[in-house]
Structure 1
Amino acid sequence: MSMQPRPWPEPTPEVAAAVRAIYQGKRQVPLPVRVRDELGEVFADEVFAAAFGREGRPGWSPGRLALITVLQRVDNLTDRQAAEAVATDLTWKYALGLDLNDPGFDASVLSEFRSRVIAHGLEERLYRVKTRA
């Protein structure tokens, strides 16, 4: 799996509009939306560059996978449930800057990501969340 570091895209207009319509002043905004609104791109891909090659089939953004791992832990989800949330939950799509039709990924991607992070001693990076100045 390879990685070409890129900044996360902004939430798509369709996803942003749907999230705003659902949570407009009536309900508490869910954690994925608050994280994206308050912190933006939480984990930059470059932080995880040592664990991913520059050649080969491009994989999912490690920065995004890091956020998915954190959200997964907060919600106590299995890998399969987290992968399903990426594919179907508007708030997760919003946080990750994904298109409404993005199909997500196979649940095994999360296990492979964690294995790479641990093998390269990068697990502490998941605890260093940037803050906006």
Structure 2
Amino acid sequence: MSLEPGKDTGVPEMTAQVVAAAFPDSSPAIRLRDALGPVFTDERFTTAFSYRGRPAVSPGSLALISVLQHAEGLTDRQTAEAVRSRMDWKYLLGLEIHDPGIAHATLSHFRSRLLEHGLENQLLQAVLERADQIGLLATGGRQRTDAPPRPTPSGDAR
């Protein structure tokens, strides 16, 4: 598979209109797109693809699809169906409303390529970089955990 890195050109007008009508109160996917814009660029994944062969599905889109898949606990088949049929996902991915989506096997192949080329940390890195760019992350400060306080020998919590 070959890769010709593409640029995010925003949400197509028809997709934006349909989603605005169908989701007057928004959805998590819509809010994510509106807050972060494009998170994953194809350039992050160029080492996993050659410059010859049939064109690959955008790895930036596949990365975002993989994050959505994990967040919703979907199988590859359910995820491919969501890309094909869910308007809020099309909005987030910047797809035309009539886009046919992806084959479910594409997701497995993408994960294999990430692991084979040591790119699995690119997903988290891209999210952190984008969140920092738009001011969602603060530097310094106190680190916190979700662990409850440990009891002292007297039984009181610290």
Tell me the TM-score normalized by structure 1: 0.92
Which residue is 2:35 aligned to? 38
In the alignment, is residue 64 of structure 1 matched against residue 36 of structure 2? no
* 2:48 counterpart (26, 46, 51): 51
Whose radius of gyration is greater, 1 or 2?
2
Structure 1 stretches of 4+ moved >3 Å: none
Unaligned runs of 5+ in 1: none
Which residue is 1:11 aligned to? 11
Matched residue of 1:123: which SS?
coil
Contact 1:93–1:99 (Cα < 8 Å) also in 2: yes
Unaligned runs of 5+ in 2: 135-158
Question: Which residue identity does 1:17 align to in structure 2?
Answer: Q
Which residue is 1:97 aligned to? 94
Deviation at 1:122, TM superposition (A): 0.5
Percentage of pairs with the same residue? 47
Deviation at 1:100, TM superposition (A): 1.2
Question: Which residue identity does 1:46 align to in structure 2?
Answer: E
Partner Cα separation in structure 2 for residue 96 and residue 42 of structure 1: 10
Question: Which residue identity does 2:100 align to in structure 1?
Answer: P
Which residue is 1:123 aligned to? 120
Once superposed, what is the RMSD of the aligned Cα atoms?
Answer: 1.1
Higher relative contact order (CA 8 A, sep 6+): 1
**1:5-48 residue CA offsets vs partner (Å, 9 max, x unmatched):** 11123111111011112222xx3x22221121111111111101
Partner Cα separation in structure 1 for residue 51 and residue 34 of structure 2: 30
Aligned residues: 130
Matched residue of 2:8: which SS?
coil
